[in-house]
Amino acid sequence: MVRKYEPSEIPSVYNLRDAPVAKEGKGFEQVVFRGIDQMVGMTTIGPDREDKPQHSHPWEQMNVVMDGEVDFLVDGERISLSKHDALEIPPDVPHASRAVSDEPATLLAFWPLREDRLDATEYQTEFDV
């Protein structure tokens, strides 16, 4: 894992609304921010996003709804979340999410440092990606 950082660049502050988009699609946009051992994905999920099949991964994922309402399907069980609700998804548990109102929802997802998402954090000057 790439854990080297430039001490002269710490502390570093970024507004995630200004960060470059890492993933996007119809009704979906995500930016990623990293630390030394952790990552945060800020995702906007619009009502026009089509339902996606459940997926899983070998790491735990923590989620916090910052705005709007989101339904999660976790291991076949539907869970409704609203602003400031938090949800933990253990490793290898199938899950998917979708917005459930006419307004977009904003979701923060917390992961361990993921090699497959490092390119989305190249805007961060404190890391030697």
Supply the pLDDT for residue 2. Answer: 63
d(CA 77, CA 71): 10
**Per-domain boundaries in the chain:** 26-121
* CATH code given to domain 26-121: 2.60.120.10
**Confidence at 1, pLDDT banded by 50, 70, 90:** low
Question: Is the pLDDT at 97 greater than 80, yes or no?
Answer: yes
Tell me the pLDDT tens digit for each residue of 51-82. 888 999 999 999 999 999 999 999 999 999 99
Supply the pLDDT for residue 128. Answer: 72
> pTM score > 0.85 for this model?
yes
Supply the pLDDT for residue 40. Answer: 97
